[in-house]
């Protein structure tokens, strides 16, 4: 889809037909909004539905008035746009019937077909990166340039990525830096999606960060073009899950009390990144999760189930990153690993890299680096013990050192004495 087509789909609707919704759905949404508001102006209905007055909300309110479902109780100026409405006795009866089917009150949804078209046009694989951008994003981390090139290639491809290796070497930190690279350009997502008469709530204030209101976001082709305010202009999302992930959280979440759906995690991640941290430590067999995603990873299409049993098709347009410190051979079979295009081992650092990390942490924390202190740390706490180098150790030890220096009113220096005190309180001899 080119920019012209995308803008056409995002253009502010000028009629009921342009919304892609039926008059019935719009009138029910308006009726619930007026009922919950007690008394509300026509402009308030427009704001609540995120739809324009002329050609859309005006038509809906006129219908509700003709059917005596609302009362006009006053005006704040001249013309229909200034009218104020309350629910009528007949309208209350209708609202109760409507609420039995669906209690969603909020911005009018967009049709599923329109959502799918826009999200595919904004796929994460459309992100373009330069080498310099990737290196800048990972500044402060000690990473082999060859690994950075592989990361940049994976991010531009939009393909899945498998990060594995011993714990404590920065896999989660690396994934968070990747997320910032993916989130360079904002995208549009809807507040909600409609499927037949069902509503799926997509926008989540916890998971999505607005980059500006859709109606005020600049049009790429014409800055004067008004855009559909049912879409939120957001930074590309990053959804992070860990051991709490379950199979049920990857399907539509039906709330029988309010009778509408919450989008699953991967649908909220569309257009951005979905990070499965601590993969293999979920409360289910890893193979179950992988089997669930074999088709989406290959086809970029996911299938979700309504509580009625109907299956719906949604885009699976996100960069999926699996991060684990477990042996991949014990977690997944070869067939699944083939479907994950990029694999990246994050191993323990060499002594040279460990020294570079230690120096960088000291500089960042305002601690004076001393070579004799570092040599003492390596000899006493890694060679004699013995112990593996970890990228997280310098940060943790230097932080311990700072705590001790503050308590004892000493200058923060990476001396053998302070390092000995920090290391002895940090490491546990198991």
Query: Quick one: CA dihedral 38, 39, 45, 48, positive or negative?
Result: negative
Output the pLDDT for position 215.
45
Q: Tell me: the pLDDT tens digits for 281-305?
A: 777 777 787 788 888 888 899 999 9
CATH code of the domain made up of 351-426: 1.10.8
Whole-number pLDDT of residue 221: 43
Per domain, the residue ranges of the chain are 22-106, 122-184+236-345, 351-426
Q: Residues 180-225: pLDDT tens digits?
A: 887 778 889 999 999 988 999 999 999 999 886 544 444 554 555 6
CB proximity list for 141: less than 8 A, separation 6 or greater = 170, 173, 174, 177
Rounded Cα–Cα distance for residues 69 and 88 (Å): 5
Does residue 304 sit in helix, strand or coil? strand
Q: Alpha-carbon distance 259 to 99, whole Å?
A: 8
The answer to whether the beta carbons of residues 156 and 134 sit under 8 Å apart is: no
Q: What was the pLDDT predicted at 13?
A: 92
pLDDT of residue 224: 52
Instruction: Identify the pLDDT of residue 3.
Output: 63
Superfamily of domain 122-184+236-345: P-loop containing nucleotide triphosphate hydrolases (3.40.50.300)
Give the residues of the chain that fall short of pLDDT 70.
1-6, 124-127, 212-225, 335, 429-430
Partners of 378 in the beta sheet? none
Q: What is the pLDDT of residue 93?
A: 92
pLDDT at 284: 77
Is CATH 1.10.3720.10 the right assignment for the domain spanning 22-106?
Answer: no
Q: How many CA atoms lie within 13 A of 301 on its CB side?
A: 6
* DSSP state letter for 216: G
What pLDDT is attached to residue 5? 66
């Amino acid at each position: 889809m080119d920019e012209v087509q995308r803008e056409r789909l995002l253009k502010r609707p000028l009629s009921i037909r342009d919304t892609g919704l039926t008059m019935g759905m719009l009138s029910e949404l308006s009726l619930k909004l007026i009922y919950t508001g007690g008394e509300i102006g026509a402009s308030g209905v427009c704001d609540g539905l995120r739809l324009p007055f002329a050609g859309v909300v005006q038509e809906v309110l006129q219908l509700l008035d003709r059917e005596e479902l609302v009362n006009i109780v006053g005006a704040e100026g001249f013309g229909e746009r200034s009218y104020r409405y309350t629910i009528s006795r007949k309208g209350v009866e209708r609202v109760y019937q409507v609420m039995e089917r669906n209690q969603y009150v909020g911005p009018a949804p967009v049709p599923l077909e329109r959502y799918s078209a826009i999200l595919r046009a904004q796929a994460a694989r459309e992100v373009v990166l330069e080498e310099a951008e990737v290196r800048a994003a990972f500044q402060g981390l000690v990473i082999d340039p060859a690994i950075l090139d592989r990361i940049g290639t994976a991010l531009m491809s939009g393909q899945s990525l498998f990060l594995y290796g011993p714990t404590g070497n920065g896999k989660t930190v690396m994934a968070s830096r990747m997320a910032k690279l993916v989130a360079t350009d904002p995208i549009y997502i809807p507040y909600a999606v409609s499927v037949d008469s069902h509503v799926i709530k997509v926008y989540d204030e916890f998971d999505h960060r607005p980059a500006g209101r859709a109606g005020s976001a600049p049009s790429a082709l014409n800055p004067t073009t008004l855009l559909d305010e049912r879409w939120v202009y957001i930074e590309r999302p990053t959804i992070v899950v860990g051991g709490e992930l379950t199979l049920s959280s990857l399907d539509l979440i039906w709330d029988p009390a309010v009778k509408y759906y919450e989008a699953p995690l991967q649908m909220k991640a569309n257009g951005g990144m979905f990070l499965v941290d601590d993969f293999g430590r979920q409360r289910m067999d890893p193979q179950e999760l992988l089997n669930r995603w074999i088709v989406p990873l290959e086809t970029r299409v996911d299938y979700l189930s309504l509580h009625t049993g109907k299956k719906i098709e949604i885009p699976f347009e996100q960069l999926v990153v699996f991060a684990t410190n477990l042996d991949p051979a014990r977690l997944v079979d070869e067939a699944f690993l083939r479907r994950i295009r990029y694999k990246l081992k994050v191993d323990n650092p060499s002594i040279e890299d460990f020294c570079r990390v230690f120096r960088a942490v000291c500089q960042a924390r305002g601690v004076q680096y001393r070579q004799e202190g570092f040599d003492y740390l390596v000899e006493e706490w890694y060679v004699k013990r013995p112990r593996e180098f970890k990228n997280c150790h310098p940060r943790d030890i230097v932080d311990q050192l700072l705590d001790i220096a503050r308590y004892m009113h000493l200058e923060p220096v990476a001396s053998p004495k302070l390092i000995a005190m920090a290391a002895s309180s940090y490491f546990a001899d198991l």
